[in-house]
Amino acid sequence: MRNRGYFQELFVVVAVSLFLLSAVLTRVGLSQKLPEMTPKQMDEAKKIYDRGCSRCHGPNGDGKGDELSRKYKVPPCDFTKPLSQWNYSKGDVKKVFEAITNGVPGTTMAKVHYSEEERWALTYFVVKFAKEKP
């Protein structure tokens, strides 16, 4: 049987690991609770979307942006589909945030450099394009 010191060390390692994981998830915006958005933040998100996202995703979020974006090997996400049908996020709002934060591998969706608050506002803004489930 293992000695008591082994279990104490194991406990410390597990506790520290869980703490660090929690800190990392919180840092990248994947904490348990989703932030709430104000109308002012949503207005700002619209400006960000119009300035930086609509070129590819289209002004209406339908994935029909400019001519260049229509030639991409992997087309931009059509945000007007039900959220559960979005290719990367499959209905998970946190994954939408993750895609905005880190980009989507294998696509032209690049990492963005906005504050966490702006990225959450942009997440909520694009999710509002999604059609309700039939």
State the Cα–Cα distance between residues 80 and 71, nearest whole angstrom: 20
Domain-located, residue 133 = no
pLDDT at 134: 39
Q: Is residue 11 over pLDDT 50?
A: yes
Residue 65 · residue 76 · CB < 8 Å: yes
Over range 68-96, report the average pLDDT.
Answer: 88
Name the residue range of residue 89's domain. 36-127
State the Cα–Cα distance between residues 11 and 118, nearest whole angstrom: 38
Within this chain, do residues 94 and 64 fall inside the same structural domain, yes or no?
Answer: yes
113: domain CATH number is 1.10.760.10
Sign of the CA dihedral with 125 first, then 127, 130, and 134 last = negative
Residue 80 · residue 132 · CB < 8 Å: no
Over range 23-43, report the average pLDDT.
Answer: 70
